[in-house]
Amino acid sequence: MIKRIAVLTTGGDAPGMNAAIRAVVRYGIYKKLEVMGVFRGWWGLINEELRLLDHRSVSGIINQGGTILKTARCQEFRTEEGQKRAYEVIKKNCIDALVVIGGDGSFRAAHEFYKKYGVFCIGIPASIDNDINGIEMTIGLDTAINTALSAIDNIRDTATSLERVFVVEVMGRDCGYIALKVALAGGCEEVIIPERRYNLEEICHDIVEGNLRGKISWIIVVAEGAASAQEIAQKINEMTSLETRAVVLGHIQRGGRPTAFSRDLALRLGQIAVDCLLRGEKDKVVGLHDEKIISVDFARAIQKKDLRIEELYHLVKVLS
Amino acid sequence: MIKRIAVLTTGGDAPGMNAAIRAVVRYGIYKKLEVMGVFRGWWGLINEELRLLDHRSVSGIINQGGTILKTARCQEFRTEEGQKRAYEVIKKNCIDALVVIGGDGSFRAAHEFYKKYGVFCIGIPASIDNDINGIEMTIGLDTAINTALSAIDNIRDTATSLERVFVVEVMGRDCGYIALKVALAGGCEEVIIPERRYNLEEICHDIVEGNLRGKISWIIVVAEGAASAQEIAQKINEMTSLETRAVVLGHIQRGGRPTAFSRDLALRLGQIAVDCLLRGEKDKVVGLHDEKIISVDFARAIQKKDLRIEELYHLVKVLS
Amino acid sequence: MIKRIAVLTTGGDAPGMNAAIRAVVRYGIYKKLEVMGVFRGWWGLINEELRLLDHRSVSGIINQGGTILKTARCQEFRTEEGQKRAYEVIKKNCIDALVVIGGDGSFRAAHEFYKKYGVFCIGIPASIDNDINGIEMTIGLDTAINTALSAIDNIRDTATSLERVFVVEVMGRDCGYIALKVALAGGCEEVIIPERRYNLEEICHDIVEGNLRGKISWIIVVAEGAASAQEIAQKINEMTSLETRAVVLGHIQRGGRPTAFSRDLALRLGQIAVDCLLRGEKDKVVGLHDEKIISVDFARAIQKKDLRIEELYHLVKVLS
Amino acid sequence: MIKRIAVLTTGGDAPGMNAAIRAVVRYGIYKKLEVMGVFRGWWGLINEELRLLDHRSVSGIINQGGTILKTARCQEFRTEEGQKRAYEVIKKNCIDALVVIGGDGSFRAAHEFYKKYGVFCIGIPASIDNDINGIEMTIGLDTAINTALSAIDNIRDTATSLERVFVVEVMGRDCGYIALKVALAGGCEEVIIPERRYNLEEICHDIVEGNLRGKISWIIVVAEGAASAQEIAQKINEMTSLETRAVVLGHIQRGGRPTAFSRDLALRLGQIAVDCLLRGEKDKVVGLHDEKIISVDFARAIQKKDLRIEELYHLVKVLS
C-alpha cells in the first residue's frame, strides 16, 4: 500500500497547474497520504530538490498562473545515468508513486521510467497544446484559448477601424486546435492549421473579392505549427498590395489566471490521480472524455492525436 | 420544404445569444433560407416587430453580451388571444419555422405553441441558469461562472487581508450549478445550494474551529435559490460573533463579453438548429451532451434537471 | 538619523497596497535602512507582530490585490493603554519611524499618536474612498473605478436587451467620486451622490419622458453614502410602474489586480515616503497633486475633502 | 458664429476615440450645433464621405475600442490637390470648423490646413504613442499601458515558472513612455527606451550576477523605437548562454475596451473642444496638464515631447 507520493510539474507551464497541485496535495492528505513536492520537474528528482507539503503550503495558489513547483526541461533525465539517479532519490525518500503534471513529452518520459524502473506514475495532462491522445482537453487549454480570443477581439477593433488585413499567430505546436477554436469564436475570416493544407492564392483571391464587395477588414489566424505569421503577411501583401500586419501572440497565452474550466478540470483530475494511485493503477493519464473522467494508458496517450477538423473549419468559413 | 425561418431571443439575456443569432442567420443564408429577426421575443411576434436579416446585419456582434434582437417577458403569449395573434403574424410573413433562443420558460411556451398551432420550432438553450434537462451546458453559463469567479477572486483578496467571513450570493434560480462550480474553482470554504440541505450550526462550528486553528478568512457561496446571503451573514454573525459580510453578485453575472466556450457553443448550436429544421425536425432543443451535439424533445427538456452534486460538494469541502 | 523603519497597512484594504509595501521595503533597503513589516495594522504594533523584511520578502506581490501585511480595525489603539503599548513595542524594536498605508481614519490615529508620543510617521493614502484632503487620488481608487465600470458595462448589456431600469450602488463612503466617474465613463443616465441633493420625482419624470421617446434602458449610479440602491429602485418602481432592479457592487470593488495607475502611484509614493523620513519630515501624507508628488500635513489631510462636482455632474447629464 | 462642425478620426486608432466622438456629437448638439461625422479621416473629407450625426447615432459606443468613423492614412491630403478638394467639400457642406481626433501627424496636417485655408480646427489627442508636446496624456494611452501590463503579468507567470529571460517589445513609436510605465508597474528588471542609451553588456552582466544570487527570471521591456526584442533576445542568449525569449505585443495594445481614465479624458476633451470652437479658438490641441484641461497651439503640440525619464528609470532599477 502506498503511503507517500510525490508531485511534480514538467514541460511548459500551463494555467491551472497550481490548482492541480493543490488538489493532489489536499486530497492526498485527506486520504492519509504524505505528499512531497518536487521542484523543477525531473531535474528536481535527480537533484533531490523536494520537500513535504502540508495543507497550508498550497493556500492561495488556486487562481495563480504558472506553477509554484516550477518546471524545467531536463536533458539529463533522458540518460540512463539521470534516470538511475532519480530512481535512487525516489527510493531514498520512500516515495511510492509519482503524479506528473505536464504534456506529452512528460508522459513519454514517465512511461519509459516506469518500464525501466517500475515506478508507479499517474499523469495529469496540463499543457496549452492539447496534444494528449484519447482525452478531450488539457488543463490550461481553455485559459489559453480565452487569452488568445481576447487578443483577437482587440485586434478586431483596429482591423475594423483601419480596414486592414491581420495575420495572427497563436500557440499550439503541431496542433491546430487553439487556432481553429479562436478563429471560430473570434469571427475570423480564415484559419491556417497544420492538419490541413492551405492555398494562399485562394485566400488572397477571397480577400480581393471581399474587398470589392466592401469587406475590407480581415483576420487570418495561423497555428504556429503551420506557418509563420510574418511570412504569410508578407506574401499576402505582395499578392494583393493590401497593407497586411502580422501579430505573434506568443507567451502571453501561457500565463494568467486560469479560467473556471481550467481550474475545475485541474481540481477534479488531481483528485482522480490520487484515487487511481490508491487503487493501484499506474502508467496512465487521467483526463476528461465525453464529460466523464477516464484514464488512458501512457502508451496510447502519447500517440498522435486525431482531431476532426473539417467540420469546424467549414463552420469558420461559412460564418465569417 | 422550408424557405423562411424566424429567430427570436426570449427570457433573460445570456452572453452568447448574439453569437447564436449570428450563426442562425449566416448559416441559414448559406443554406439558401431567408431569416427574419423578431424583436423582443414573443412580444415581437404578436406585434409583428420583425424584419429580414442579411449577412451584414449580424456583423460585429459575436463578442457582444446581451442580444441585438432584445428580449422581453411576455404575459400576452400565455393567452389564447396572444398565441393566435402570433400565429397569424407567422402565416402573414410566410415564416415556416422558428428558432427560439432562451431558457426553459421559453421552451415551455414554444412546446405549447407547437401542440396548439403546429408551428415548427427548434430551441437553442441560452440562459445562465442551466436548467434545461438532458443537456450539459446552456449558452452563457461558462461566461456567468467566470464572471462570478472573478468576483470571488476579488473578494478573496479582501477576505484574506481583513480576515473576515464573506457570504456571496450567485445567480442560478433553482439550480445550484453555478454556486457549486464557483465555490470549487474559487477555493471557497462552503457552498449552500437548493439541491442539498444545509446546517448553519455545523457551518458556524466549522468556522469557529477553523478560527482556532488560525484560519480566519472564509468565503461561503450561496445559490440564490437556496437562501439569502444577507440572512445567512446575519445569522453567522449572531452565532459566531465574527464580522460577516454579504455580497450579492446580481446582474453583473448576466452581461459581458462571452467566453470562448459560450461563443463556440452558440455558433455550433446555431448551425445545428438550422440543420434540424432542414431535416424536418421540430419541437426540440439542441444541445451538448457527452461532448456531442444532440437534440432533446421539448417535453423532456423542460422537466426538472437532475444534477449529481454530492461528489462536487464533497470535493469543495475536502479541498478547502 | 533614522536606521530602522516599520511599515503597516490599516483600514480597509485597497488594490496597490502590496505595491506600496514593495516600494517602501526595497527603496528603504536601497537607502540603507532596515524595514520591519507590522502585521494587521495597529493591532500588530500593540501585539508585537512584526518582523524584518528583506528584498525577497516582497517578491511577486506587485500585481496582487489586498495586503500581505494584512489589515485590521483596532479599537484598542484608540485607548491610552493601546497607544502606550504600541509606543513601547516601537521603542523595544528600535523603530525610528513609521510608514502607514491606509485611509483617513488611519491618518487621524497616526496624527494623534505623533502628537502624544512624538513617533515620526508618514502616511501613504491607500483607500478606495478618495477621502484624503489636499491630494488628487488615493492608491486603489483607479482600480476600484475600473472594476465598477466593468460591472456597469455588463449591466448595460442586460439593461439594453431587457429594456429595464437599473440602480447600481457603488462604494465610496461619504464621497461621490467613484459614483460620478463611473456614471460618466459608463454613459449612465443619472447619478446620486452625497455632495448633491437629488430629486427622485424629477428623475422619475425624466425616465417616463425618455420612455415615451423610445429610450427604455436606464442606469442610475448611487454612491453608498447617498442612498440605498434597493430603496431607490423600489421607489422608482412605485412612481413609474417600470421594472427596476437594484445591484449593490459591494466588496468586489475592493480586490483584484491593481491597474497600472494604482501600481505606479503606489510605487512612487512608497519611494517618496522613505525620502521624506530620511529628510526628517513627519506627521504628513504624501500624495499626487497637479501631477506632482507633494506632502500634506496630517492635520490638513484629514479635513473634509472638497470635490468640485457640479461640472462633472452636468457632463453626465448632457452626454447621457 | 459657427453652426455646423465636423468630427473625424485620423492616424492609428486608439481606445477612447469612440467616447470622444460621443462627447463631441452630444455636447455639440446640446450647444445647438449640427455635427457631421467624416468617415476615414482626411480621405473622407476629400471624398465627401460624411453625414449628419444625431444623439442616437453615438449610442452604445462609449465602451467600444476602435472608431465608428473609421480612420485611414491619407497621402492625398499631403498634396495641394487633396487639400483643395477637402476645402471645397467643407465649403459645400457648410462646415464651419473641424474637430480632429488623432495623433501628432494629424495635428501637423491640421495646422498646415489652417495656415493655407484658414479652416478652424481643434485637435483632440488620441494615440497610444503619447507624443503630443505640452500635454500629459493622450486618449488611449492608459488603456494601452494596462493592456501591455496585463500581458507582462501573464509572461511573469511563465518567466517565474520556467526561470527564463524574456524580452518584451511594447508600442510607443519614438516615445519610451509606455515601456517605462509598464516596466515599473510590472516589476520588470530592465527597460530599454529611445530616450536613453543602453549597454547590453552591462545588462548581461546584471543578469549573470543575478543568476548567481539565485534570481533566474528576468523581464526586459523594450520600446519599439529603441530596439527589436528579437535582436536583443538573441544577443543576450549569445552573451549569457541563458535561454531568452522575445515577445512582441504589437497590435493587441491598440484595441480593447477603454479604461475609465481613457473614457473620462475622451469625454472631457470632447466637451472642451466644442467649447473652444464656440469661443472662437482654433489651431489648437486640448489636453490635460497638471490635472487641468488646457489648450496648446498646434505649432507647439507637434514639437518633440520632452520626457523626464531618469527618475522613473532609476526607480525601475531600484525596485526590481
Query: What number is the ipTM of this complex?
Result: 0.95
Tally of CB atoms within 10 A around A84: 13
Which residue is closest to C245 within chain B, CA to CA? Answer: B251
Secondary structure in 3-state letters for B82-107: HHHHHHHHHHHCCCCEEEEEECHHHH
Closest CA to B250 of B182, B172, B146, B171: B171
Residue A10 cell numbers, joined: 514538467
Closest CA to B101 of B197, B185, B5, B239: B5
A-chain residues within 8 Å CB-CB of D15?
A: 157
B315 belongs to a structural domain: no
Q: Contact at 8 Å (CB) between C200 and C232?
A: yes
Q: Read off the CATH number of the domain in which D111 is found.
A: 3.40.50.450
Mean of the per-residue pLDDT values of chain B: 94
Between D293 and B57, residue with greater pLDDT: B57
Number of domains in chain B: 2
Distance from CA of D152 to the nearest CA of A (A): 7
The shortest CB-CB distance from B252 to any of C13, C40, C154 is to C154
Determine whether the interchain pair A153/B30 forms a contact, defined as Cβ–Cβ distance below 8 Å: no
Last residue of a domain, one of B220, B238, B254: B254
| Catalytic positions of C | 129
B62 belongs to a structural domain: yes
B-chain residues within 8 Å CB-CB of C72?
A: 162-163
pLDDT tens digits, residue range D43-74? 999 999 999 999 999 999 999 999 999 999 89
Say yes or no: C42 and C135 in one domain. Answer: yes
Determine whether the interchain pair B156/C255 forms a contact, defined as Cβ–Cβ distance below 8 Å: yes
Q: Contact at 8 Å (CB) between C122 and C281?
A: yes
Say yes or no: C124 and C170 in one domain. Answer: no
Q: Does residue B305 register a pLDDT over 80? A: no
- d(CA B181, CA B188) in angstroms, rounded, equals 10
A-chain residues within 8 Å CB-CB of B268?
A: 315
**Is residue B182 classed as helix, strand or coil in its secondary structure?**
helix
Q: Contact at 8 Å (CB) between D166 and D182?
A: no
Say yes or no: B264 and B184 in one domain. Answer: no
End-to-end CA distance of chain A: 57
Closest CA to B223 of B264, B254, B193, B261: B193
| Tens-binned pLDDT, residue by residue, of chain A (320 aa) | 899 999 999 999 999 999 999 999 999 999 999 999 999 999 999 999 999 999 999 999 999 999 999 999 899 999 999 999 999 999 999 999 999 999 989 999 999 999 999 999 999 999 988 878 888 889 999 999 999 999 999 999 999 999 899 999 999 888 899 999 999 999 999 999 999 999 999 999 999 998 888 887 899 999 999 999 999 999 999 999 999 999 999 999 999 999 999 999 999 999 999 999 999 999 999 998 766 777 888 888 888 776 678 889 999 999 99
Determine whether the interchain pair A315/B257 forms a contact, defined as Cβ–Cβ distance below 8 Å: no
- d(CA C176, CA A228) in angstroms, rounded, equals 51
C-chain residues within 8 Å CB-CB of D259?
A: 146, 149, 259
Q: Point out the least confidently predicted range of A132-141, B188-197, C301-310.
A: C301-310
A308 belongs to a structural domain: no
Grid-cell match 508522459, residue found: A107
Determine whether the interchain pair C63/D186 forms a contact, defined as Cβ–Cβ distance below 8 Å: yes
Tally of CB atoms within 10 A around B246: 23
Q: Where are the alpha helices (DSSP H) in chain D?
A: 17-30, 42-46, 80-92, 104-117, 141-162, 177-185, 200-212, 229-240, 260-278, 298-301, 310-319
Determine whether the interchain pair B185/A290 forms a contact, defined as Cβ–Cβ distance below 8 Å: no
Say yes or no: D35 and D136 in one domain. Answer: yes
Give the best residue of C71, C230, C244, C252 to mutate against chain B (max B CB count within 10 A): C252
| One-letter identity of residue A9 | T
Say yes or no: B269 and B229 in one domain. Answer: no
- d(CA A63, CA C143) in angstroms, rounded, equals 19
| Sheet strands side by side (includes A97-102) | A50-53, A34-38, A4-9, A97-102, A120-125, A284-289, A292-297
| One-letter identity of residue B43 | W
- d(CA C22, CA D185) in angstroms, rounded, equals 11
Q: Contact at 8 Å (CB) between C121 and C42?
A: no
Say yes or no: C227 and C269 in one domain. Answer: no
- d(CA B138, CA B117) in angstroms, rounded, equals 27
Q: Does residue B309 register a pLDDT over 90? A: no
Determine whether the interchain pair A181/B264 forms a contact, defined as Cβ–Cβ distance below 8 Å: yes
Rg value, chain C, Cα: 22
D307 belongs to a structural domain: no
B74 belongs to a structural domain: yes
**Is residue D65 classed as helix, strand or coil in its secondary structure?**
coil
A130 belongs to a structural domain: yes
pLDDT tens digits, residue range D14-49? 999 999 999 999 999 999 999 999 999 999 999 999
Determine whether the interchain pair C255/B157 forms a contact, defined as Cβ–Cβ distance below 8 Å: yes
Q: Does residue B302 register a pLDDT over 90? A: no
Say yes or no: A188 and A108 in one domain. Answer: no
pLDDT value of position C117: 97
B309 belongs to a structural domain: no
Residue B72 cell numbers, joined: 422581453
Grid-cell match 485527506, residue found: A30
D-chain residues within 8 Å CB-CB of A67?
A: 161
B-chain residues within 8 Å CB-CB of C146?
A: none
Residue A70 cell numbers, joined: 516550477
| Catalytic positions of B | 129
Last residue of a domain, one of B254, B274, B293: B254
Last residue of a domain, one of C254, C289, C314: C254
Any idea what DSSP says for residue B64?
Answer: -
Distances (CA, A) of A298 to A131, A267, D112, D270, D310: 13, 21, 70, 62, 56
Q: Contact at 8 Å (CB) between A125 and A103?
A: yes
State the burial class of residue C98 (Cβ atoms within 10 Å of its Cβ: 0-12, 13-18, 19+).
Answer: buried
Cα D275 to the center of its chain, rounded Å: 23
Determine whether the interchain pair C63/D153 forms a contact, defined as Cβ–Cβ distance below 8 Å: yes
Distance from CA of B225 to the nearest CA of C (A): 17
Q: Read off the CATH number of the domain in which D249 is found.
A: 3.40.50.460
Grid-cell match 497520504, residue found: A33
Distance from CA of B317 to the nearest CA of C (A): 24
Q: Which residues of D touch C (CB under 8 A)?
A: 19, 22-23, 26-27, 30, 60, 62-63, 136, 142, 145-146, 149-150, 153, 156, 160, 181-182, 184-187, 257, 259-261, 263-264, 267-268, 271, 289-292, 315, 318-319
Does the pTM of the predicted model rise above 0.80?
yes
- A129 assigned to active site: yes
Grid-cell match 423600489, residue found: C234
Say yes or no: C130 and C244 in one domain. Answer: no
B-chain residues within 8 Å CB-CB of A289?
A: 291
C-chain residues within 8 Å CB-CB of D318?
A: 26-27, 30, 271
Q: Which residues of C touch D (CB under 8 A)?
A: 19, 22-23, 26-27, 30, 60, 62-63, 136, 142, 145-146, 149-150, 153, 156, 160, 181-182, 184-187, 257, 259-261, 263-264, 267-268, 271, 289-292, 315, 318-319
Residue B257's region, left for phi above 0, alpha for psi from -120 to 50, else beta, is beta
Q: Contact at 8 Å (CB) between A156 and B61?
A: no
Please report the number of interchain residue pairs, chain C to chain D, with beta-carbon separation below 8 angstroms.
Answer: 98
Say yes or no: D128 and D8 in one domain. Answer: yes
Closest CA to B190 of B143, B240, B141: B240
Interface partners of chain D (CB pairs < 8 Å, 3 or more) are: A, C
Residue C265's region, left for phi above 0, alpha for psi from -120 to 50, else beta, is alpha
- d(CA B267, CA B123) in angstroms, rounded, equals 14
Say yes or no: D263 and D128 in one domain. Answer: yes
Say yes or no: C24 and C150 in one domain. Answer: no
* Residue ranges making up the domain that contains D47: 4-140+258-301
C178 belongs to a structural domain: yes
Q: Contact at 8 Å (CB) between A138 and A128?
A: yes
Between B304 and D35, residue with greater pLDDT: D35
- d(CA C277, CA C31) in angstroms, rounded, equals 11
The shortest CB-CB distance from A147 to any of D154, D250, D254 is to D154
Distance from CA of D32 to the nearest CA of C (A): 12
Distance from CA of C290 to the nearest CA of B (A): 31
What band does C129 get if pLDDT is binned at 50, 70 and 90?
A: confident
Say yes or no: D173 and D291 in one domain. Answer: no
